[in-house]
Amino acid sequence: MPVAQLKSESVVLATLEHYQNWLETLNYSSLVVKNNPRFIAEFITWSGITNLHQINTTNLQAWFTHLSERKSKRRAGALSINTIKSYYTALNQFSRFLRETGQQSFAVPRLNPGQAQQETEIKVFTQKEIQQLYEATNYYTDPGIQDKGLLAARERVILGLFYGCGLRKNEGQNVEIKDLDLKKDMLYVRKGKNYKERYVPIPAGVKKDFVHYLDYARPLLLRGQKHEQFIVTWYGRPMGKSALYSRLHILCVLANLPHIGLHTLRHSIATHLLQNGMKLEQIARFLGHSSLESTTIYTHISNEAVLF
């Protein structure tokens, strides 16, 4: 066991073994199953706690400060940002495990720039800039077919999935026709992060774009092919991540906006929902966050007009 050398009370060791079994049951990668319990064990040994109830903000912050100053065993200098974030992720996940198994959990404090060098800046579009992206779809001309708006209809669906519904890249790419319940205005996310499933509401404007795409554009784009994938290429095949990224890049060029990734659309809708008064807990459920900690990042940027 990766925690076999932990010098603590037997109940702590038993909990870590249970945690490792939980990871295996949820089909986490072998690397996560191996490393995450070890990361937790390192923290417990370093902090000298003998009971998991002793985990608190003070000793967690001290631990991250220690990690930021600790030298790497594999290369010259301090631990890398990614290594420190791996410890951070493990603690957040362990907190979730305790909560979901009915045990007393804890809140993991956010890393500050001094503890993880510099966190990646979260960029969002303003609501006006999102409107510019939508308007940019009107500038499309379809190759070989004039004035039919096939690509424009599809690109509005891409914006609807990643901004209107706030999906992650994998979630949006894997949406199938059967996942859309347009009668109830709901979208079923089958392949969420960490295998979590959820339903997200489909806004009225997004639904209108979905219906137009399904009734008109998608059948023509399929060119006689038959499959369940919602978003398709010009040749009727399921659209992959690189193609989705490319289509968004074209919209940014047409709208004269900075080149961004699909996740920026997700960050943008979360920020806009917070600005419009939605509670943090509701936004967390909408985004499929396992921990409210992941959602609190938007409280730091919700008052910004633009971050580009």
* Positions marked catalytic: 168, 193, 263, 266, 289, 298
In one letter, which amino acid is 266? R
SS3 (DSSP) at 295: helix
Structure tokens at 200: 């997200």
- For the record, the structure tokens of 126 come out as 């303003």
Structure tokens at 176: 């199938």
Q: What is the DSSP letter of 186?
A: E
Decide: helix, strand or coil at residue 181. strand
Q: State the Cα–Cα distance between residues 280 and 267, nearest whole angstrom.
A: 13
Question: CA-based Rg of the chain, rounded to a whole angstrom?
Answer: 23
Rounded CA gap, 272 and 270, in Å?
6
Tokens (6 digits) for 32? 């996560």
CA 253 to chain centroid = 25
